Homo-oligomer: A and B are copies of this chain.
């Protein structure tokens, strides 16, 4: 019962990335004309393998959202923009904060300026992150929770989403914001922990290495399977009541890190995990338990995750068992 978009011209920034490529696949199947823009920078989520089976059905632009001229050109003629390009690594944002700002804040402002000048009728969905809230003051974390990020990434993502809301309010450019929690599934980055720790855990499992659980393993997290996130993106893009709003996503079945590791190990012969002390740079930005309250989005639009963690992680491991050499 997700919303459908059909026969439209759609631009996806970060479209060779994990979520973007899965979205492109679904939108192509619904008869849309898709342009994927991606810089394919190795440290980020873009991977040409993600588009291999649909490469003849989409237009691909090798371009960086920081390239103002390219963005000005790309934005023209599209009905929808799924604005998914981003630097997602919290540690990278501390090691190279200016690059994080350029991608997650400055490029977003350039994209919105391009829309204002060249395509003010475009409909935008911007992918934000629960990282904007920082360490929870209460659980589950709803949209009213104070925003006190623990890394540069969270600060820049706040700016990125606020620009979208502002351009809606001042210029009428129709934008919606979704704040994603740990999203996982086929085509995610598993080379390292840059997207979420679930990526490196899948890799370690498939390579026969034990999963490393930091701290006491009791920190709880919520996970969304990518197909559920695609449903949410399409709802956000098509529901008029979502315009100018920012919503949390989330899941009804949060798990402790240790229980997460246990489930993942059960899915793989010989899978094992070990408890290890927090690395210092991780501890500095750890937020303890984190569970998002997604009831606003659920109650307003009827969205509810359909894929349990057990089921989703099973599908993910199956995908990567076949594909691992293309992702490491």
- Partner-B contacts on A (CB < 8 A): 94, 97-98, 101-102, 105-106, 109-110, 113, 144, 146-152, 155-156, 158-159, 162-163, 165-166, 169-170, 284-285
Q: Which residue of B lies closest to A161 (CB)?
A: B155
| Chain B residues with CB below 8 A from A105, complex form | 101, 105, 159
| Chain B residues with CB below 8 A from A113, complex form | 97-98
Which 4 residue pairs of A and B lie closest in terms of their CB atoms, listed nearest first? A155-B162, A159-B159, A97-B109, A155-B159
Q: Is the CB of A158 within 8 A of B162?
A: yes
* 20 A-B pairs with C-beta separation under 8 A: A97-B163, A98-B106, A98-B109, A98-B113, A101-B106, A101-B109, A101-B159, A102-B106, A105-B105, A109-B152, A144-B146, A148-B165, A150-B166, A150-B169, A150-B170, A155-B166, A158-B158, A159-B159, A170-B284, A170-B285
Q: Is the CB of B170 within 8 A of A94?
A: yes
- Shortest beta-carbon distance from A128 to chain B in Å: 14
Q: Is the CB of B159 within 8 A of A163?
A: no
| Chain B residues with CB below 8 A from A152, complex form | 109, 163, 166
Q: Which residue of B lies closest to A98 (CB)?
A: B109
With most chain B CB atoms within 10 A of its CB, the pick from A149, A162, A163 is A162
Q: Is the CB of A166 within 8 A of B149?
A: yes
Q: Which residue of B lies closest to A169 (CB)?
A: B150
- Shortest beta-carbon distance from A131 to chain B in Å: 12
Cα–Cα distance between A146 and B162 once the two chains are bound (Å) = 12
Cα–Cα distance between A159 and B158 once the two chains are bound (Å) = 8
- Shortest beta-carbon distance from A285 to chain B in Å: 7
Cα–Cα distance between A196 and B208 once the two chains are bound (Å) = 64
Q: Is the CB of A163 within 8 A of B170?
A: no
Cα–Cα distance between A165 and B150 once the two chains are bound (Å) = 9
Cα–Cα distance between A148 and B170 once the two chains are bound (Å) = 13
| Chain B residues with CB below 8 A from A110, complex form | 98
Q: Which residue of B lies closest to A112 (CB)?
A: B97
Cα–Cα distance between A70 and B174 once the two chains are bound (Å) = 41
Cα–Cα distance between A152 and B170 once the two chains are bound (Å) = 10
| Chain B residues with CB below 8 A from A159, complex form | 101, 105, 155-156, 158-159
- Shortest beta-carbon distance from A105 to chain B in Å: 6
- Shortest beta-carbon distance from A92 to chain B in Å: 14
Cα–Cα distance between A109 and B99 once the two chains are bound (Å) = 11
Q: Which residue of B lies closest to A159 (CB)?
A: B159
Cα–Cα distance between A113 and B93 once the two chains are bound (Å) = 12
| Chain B residues with CB below 8 A from A97, complex form | 109, 113, 163
Cα–Cα distance between A109 and B93 once the two chains are bound (Å) = 12
